[in-house]
Amino acid sequence: MKNSMEDRRTARLPLDWKPRHCGDLIRLGAEYDGWYVVTETAVHNTGVLVGLGVENDWTFEEEFHKMTGCAVHCYDHTIGFLAFLKPAYLHAKDYIRGRAPLDKPKITLPFRYKRFFSGRRRHYVEKVGTGPGSSDFRKIFSRIPENKTVFIKMDIEGWEYSALSGLPDYYSRITGLVIEFHHVISFPEVMDYSIRELKSCFDIVHVHVNNHSVIDEDGTPMTIEITFANKSLRKEPAAESRLSYPIEGLDVPNNPSIPDYILEFY
């Protein structure tokens, strides 16, 4: 078992998951827990951005859309204008009565939601998955013209493994993906299978460990964010990345109050 604090902040992943070199990585989204690293090439070749899992932060979708003007389709069954309006109203009452300090983002959230999700930027109040009543990739892609390329952001709290089973039919239309994989410690075989399937068509170009989650005594992290880029968009040889992770100047901790995990590949 590792004893030093430094060792406890070092995460370890299989060498086969190490990123390929990519010279056009950029970070989009909120400064801390809400950002993702993508490739400019994938972004600029995308016709529709599909965001699976939104909660109360769509800054990634905002910045992606600002760069390209592409259509945006987001899926999250837990949010909506009315879902944001009630807590905003109650907080405003508490603030006016002197019961709570002002939380301006909370009050403005429903109106920011209405401002962003309009026109070609759509929010479907639907759960993503393969179970009854859920939206699978067949349904998601049925809403997208067949001549449109797609980038997928996926953060659906553990449902990604079942959802991914329906994705291979659409690989050729996908410019890239960024996926937050949960429960990596608990489902190593499922995780490894998911990575091998995706690597048949996509390069891993970036990996980041979410420091909100734990790592086990061997350094395996619970939650990781992996960025994939379609191999057909590759402009340079698929050489192994020589960068250290996290990448200085690009990656930031999801939780700014504690250090990021140092990432090693074995």
Question: Are the CB atoms for 223 and 212 separated by under 8 Å?
Answer: yes
**pLDDT-derived band at 1, boundaries 50, 70, 90:** very low
Fold assignment, 5-79+125-265: Rossmann fold (3.40.50)
Query: What is the C-alpha separation between 73 and 125, in angstroms, rounded?
Result: 11
Q: How many CB atoms lie within 10 A of CB 124?
A: 16
Per-residue pLDDT, averaged over 44-61, amounts to: 97
For Cα atoms 149, 23, 44, give the angle at the middle one, nearest 5 degrees. Answer: 25
User: What's the pLDDT score for residue 3?
Assistant: 42
| Tens digit of each residue's pLDDT (9 = 90 or more) over 188-197 | 999 999 999 9
**142 has a pLDDT exceeding 60:** yes
Question: Are the CB atoms for 185 and 220 separated by under 8 Å?
Answer: yes
User: What's the pLDDT score for residue 8?
Assistant: 56
**pLDDT-derived band at 253, boundaries 50, 70, 90:** very high
- DSSP class of residue 221 equals B
Q: pTM of this prediction?
A: 0.92
| Tens digit of each residue's pLDDT (9 = 90 or more) over 201-220 | 999 999 999 999 999 999 99
User: What's the pLDDT score for residue 4?
Assistant: 43
Question: Are the CB atoms for 33 and 1 separated by under 8 Å?
Answer: no
Question: Are the CB atoms for 170 and 144 separated by under 8 Å?
Answer: no
Domain residues of the chain, as ranges? Answer: 5-79+125-265
**44 has a pLDDT exceeding 50:** yes
User: What's the pLDDT score for residue 61?
Assistant: 98
**103 has a pLDDT exceeding 70:** yes
